[in-house]
Amino acid sequence: MRKIILSLLGILLVGFAVFFSKKLIADRHKPKPVKEKVVKTVFVDTVKNTRVKIIVPANGRLEAKRRVAIYAEVQGVFKSGSKLYKPGQTYKKGQVLIAVNAQEFYASVQVAKSNFYNAIAAIMPDLRLDFPEVFPKWQRYLNSIDLNKSIPKLPETTTDKEKYFISGRQIVSTYYHVKNLEQRLLKYTIKAPFSGILTEALVTQGDLIRPGQKLGTLINPSVYEMEVALSENDAKVLKVGEVVNLNNLDNTAQYKGVVTRINGSLDASTQTVSAYIDVKDPNLKEGIYLEANLNASSIENAIQINRSLLTEAKEIFVVKDSVLDVLKVNPVYYSKTKVVIKNIPNGTIILKKNIPGAYAGMLVKPLKQDAK
């Protein structure tokens, strides 16, 4: 029985070996499957060289065109006024911004005025006797002096004798001393030089103000100015009076600006030229950043394509007979997303959109596009 089982196992092994060897021989001679070639569909464009207008992007921060830093020239206590001296407070031209307590200095001014009045009165008898022809003139001047008002201008002297007499009695020097005190008295009250809004307030009512101390900043919010930096070549083309399109950083609001000034010197550190753009809009605030699109130079016989289509070797892909090829090009201007290229022959078919894994010799199926 054991011999029979062993014989059957031997026959099965021999049969399996024969079957397996035949299968290996059959697989060896079986032809390999032919891999089907994949032809990608690509978007193409036909080159048509034109004049490309360069739009130079720039950005900057808005500043009020009219702004004034308020400084103290006298010392005293800040008196309370009709308006709180706080940021955001609006003032009209000529309205009092800050009033400093000037009672002590006002008293000294009044003393000087009184001394000047007495000096004029003291020379009147001599004028009546020695200069009767000019006495009425000086009498009218003496009557016009009001100690509660500014001292009027001195009468003009008509002769040298009159001039020497008036100067010898210290009338002229006393007059200018009074006028100097009057001018200093005016500095105790600071008025708005224009209608505007207070953006910075560094003192409050009751503070002791000292000479040279900065008190705040007043701006006119009707017109803002933005400074942008341009290359020397772009600045040469830009002109004063040119209208500029502006937008905020989120591109949710658009504004119109006008180039008002272009700096005549080049910044040595950045090699750029500053241009200044005026913009008016009630929704704008000082400190807002805006982007400007400036019309700069134009390039003849050129096209503009996406920067992604230009390789590091300054080549672009072209299509010739449904096969990709590379073409060496001459890029002349770069922007954030575009590049301007010169002297590509008209009629050349180039890729309109980049394709991953592209290489020279790759089979493609061009998808017709309208020429640009």
Task: State pLDDT tens for residues 310-344.
Answer: 888 888 888 888 888 888 888 888 877 888 898 88
Strand partners, 261: 276
H/E run at residue 14? helix 2-28
15 lies in a domain? Answer: no
Percentage of the chain exceeding pLDDT 70: 88
Q: Could you give the 3-state DSSP secondary structure of residue 189?
A: strand
Please give the residue range of the domain that contains residue 111.
104-186
Shared domain for 93 and 194, answered yes or no, is: yes
Q: Could you give the 3-state DSSP secondary structure of residue 304?
A: strand
Sequence length of the chain is 372
Task: State pLDDT tens for residues 23-51.
Answer: 666 555 555 554 556 677 888 888 898 88
Q: How many domains, in total, are found in the chain? A: 4
How far is Cα 237 from Cα 315, in angstroms, rounded to an integer? 30
For residues 288 and 248, the answer to whether their CB atoms sit within 8 Å is yes
- Segments in the chain below pLDDT 70: 1-3, 5-10, 12-38, 296, 368-372
Shared domain for 202 and 74, answered yes or no, is: yes
Shared domain for 84 and 117, answered yes or no, is: no
pLDDT of residue 36: 55
pLDDT of residue 25: 63
90 lies in a domain? Answer: yes
pLDDT of residue 371: 40
| DSSP calls for 97-143 | EEEE--HHHHHHHHHHHHHHHHHHHHHHHHHHHH-TTTHHHHHHHHH
